[in-house]
Amino acid sequence: MNTAGPMEATEGATAKSVTGGRCARIVRISVTDFRNIGNAELHLPADGIAVVGDNGHGKTNLLEAIAYLQLLRSMRGARDRDLVRFDCDAFHVGADTDGTRVTRVGIGVAKTSAKRATLDGVEQTRLGSALGAVPSVCFSPADVSLVTGGPSDRRRALDIVLALTDHAYLTALRAYRAALTRRNATLRSSRQNHSSLHAWEPALAQHGAKLVRARHAWVAEFGHRFAALAAAIGEPQPMAVTYESAFGAHDDVASEIADALAASRDQDIRRGATQCGPHRDDLRFVLGARSLKVAGSAGQHRTAAIALRLLEAGTFRTRTGVQPIVLLDDPFAELDRRRADRVLALLQDTTADGLGQVVLCVPREDEVPREFTRLERWTVRDGEFAKSVSRG
């Protein structure tokens, strides 16, 4: 689908400022053959919309399509080919935007060809140029896996935040992953000859050091906010987030990583994979003096996950001057009323000028919180979206 349509005159106002910055927003989004959505086009007011529909009909798929415009991949970890609608060959997501670095974005994915991205009508030779074009942050009950799941879930979340707000981090992350892939391929290719193994270690040390320092710096800068957010949501016990790494944030961390890689070569050869480096690090959530994952209740896990997402949005605002679009996927379904009210208050108070654009998805009309009754209503059924005449 062509995403080049003109913006509606009634929706062409400049995005309002947010603490001296601006609010990202989508003016129009078109989704073709994505998950169960065949062909949808939605015009979004500056405040956003509330989508009501039974589970399994396409609410989360819409949010995933919006998030795809930022991540260029599924926010749920699905493979691109699994996002293509059944019996179709490709999907396309496009948007006209305001308050972002471009005003038109289009991403096309075919099962049999490379992913393509266009910015302001120009096809990008480097796909990474489109990364982060439409900033958004999604809140969902599934976020609890950030606390209860494995380290890879938390590393991925942290890598996304840092890569989207720091180009140097993105460059280092790509280079590190490329060197890691080659070193691991060497480990697996021949168990008898690994003379070239050390060739990839300088790159792993150099770029890995940048990752380690940036991660330590993020926790140092934003960690106290996590504790404050958890308390504001209603957690009476002190809650904290720490960065768990075998490597410090000092100037000589590259040498430290290089020495660790050299020392672990024999073990890596036996296991066929690189066992040390920042790709093994973790974010750790602490409740009092204990691991939150082990000692926390389901409600405390949800509190930590929401605080982390609020921290993600705060990082965007602080580092880019842009308020991301807020995607809410029935986020209060597993919270008691008291905590839900506090989260809503925090969302409303995140900036001096308001929350910005919101896309809220809930199963029933009466589950739209009173704070969002102003939002234009849409319904969804079997992947088809329609503007609702009634307003709550």
pLDDT tens digits, one per residue of 160-216: 999 999 999 999 999 999 999 999 999 988 655 667 888 999 999 999 999 999 999
Count of C-beta atoms within a 10 Å radius of residue 256: 17
- Mean per-residue pLDDT, 372-390: 91
- Residue 390's pLDDT band (boundaries 50, 70, 90)? low
pTM for the model: 0.89
Six token digits for residue 42? 């939605």
Judged against a pLDDT cut of 50, whether residue 13 lies above it is answered with no
| C-alpha–C-alpha distance, residues 384 and 378, integer Å | 10
* From the candidate CATH numbers 3.40.50.300, 3.30.930.10, 3.60.15.10, 3.50.50.60, the one assigned to the domain spanning 1-135+324-392: 3.40.50.300
- Mean per-residue pLDDT, 112-132: 94
- Residue 332's pLDDT band (boundaries 50, 70, 90)? confident
- What class does CATH assign to 142-321? mainly alpha
> What is the model's pLDDT at position 331?
84
Tell me: the pLDDT tens digits for 353-366? 467 899 999 999 98
DSSP-assigned letters across all residues of 36-97: TEEEEEEE--SSEEEEE--TTSSHHHHHHHHHHHHHSS-TT---HHHHBPTT-SEEEEEEEE
Delimit the domains of the chain by residue range: 1-135+324-392, 142-321
> What is the model's pLDDT at position 9?
29
User: Which residues face 107 on adjacent strands?
Assistant: 93, 117
SS (H, E, C) 265-276: HHHHHHHCCCCC
DSSP 368: S
Three-state SS for 120? coil
Of residues 71, 288, 278, 330, the one with CA closest to residue 154? 278
